[in-house]
Amino acid sequence: MANGSLENWLHPSVGMNELETTRNLSFYQRVNVAIDVAHALEYLHHHCETSIIHCDLKPSNILLDEEMVGHISDFGLAKIVSPNGLSTYSANQSSSLGLRGTFGYAPPEYGMGSELSTKGDVYSYGVLLLEIFTGKRPTDEMFKEGLNLHNFVKAALPEQVFEIIDPILLQDQVTRETIAETSLNGINQGNNKHLRCLNSILKIGLTCSAESPSERFDMSDVVTKLCSIRDMLYSTRFHR
């Protein structure tokens, strides 16, 4: 698509041209892309004739069109769910179940032989959401000895949120105004909508990437929560 993949926007590579390596996503664009992907997953899980599990959600599989709308791509590992709720892979494929997806984004239960499920996609989405706003891959070299992207974000909320967000966002006007306001009024007062919304988004990412599938949101809940956050953000934006 016109604007390539989300991967190239979050992590510009050395081989890209100067224009591509200097471009970045604003705070609002990141919120919109996160909602686009959530809507797409909700559609796959709940509004197709039979549910579809993508199984490989990650930034390189999110494509952006000319209007920066996010689209899920690459259904090479996708599975259709049968009416009884189980994925329709055959018995002779079960041995490769632990390899389903990409390291860092695949849910832990797949590595232990669990059935494919929509909650697996929710886990991948949670990791993706945290990556969108922190700018850190789940495979970053800093994540070792028990530290992962989920725990990294969890330990920072809510007081240290500015220390973990993507450094590029610190150049964004919305973020600069938020930092200036919290510096004046105190970060714990909760009187800044952008700060509250950022914390809420990251908390959604944490819940979606919970280790236990039963603790994760359904994608319908994610869409509802994120759209509510966007409504709050945009009411502030248009008011200004």
Active site residue ranges: 56
Closest CA to 209 of 143, 141, 142: 143
Handedness of CA 60, 65, 71, 72 (dihedral sign): negative
Distance CA 139, CA 38 (A): 22
Name the residue among 116, 82, 83, 87 with its Cα closest to residue 99: 116
At residue 128, the 3 state secondary structure works out as helix
Give the span between the Cα atoms of 8 and 114, in whole angstroms.
32
Q: At 66, is the secondary structure helix, strand, or coil?
A: coil
CB 77 within 8 A of CB 108: no
For the chain, what is the radius of gyration of the CA atoms?
18
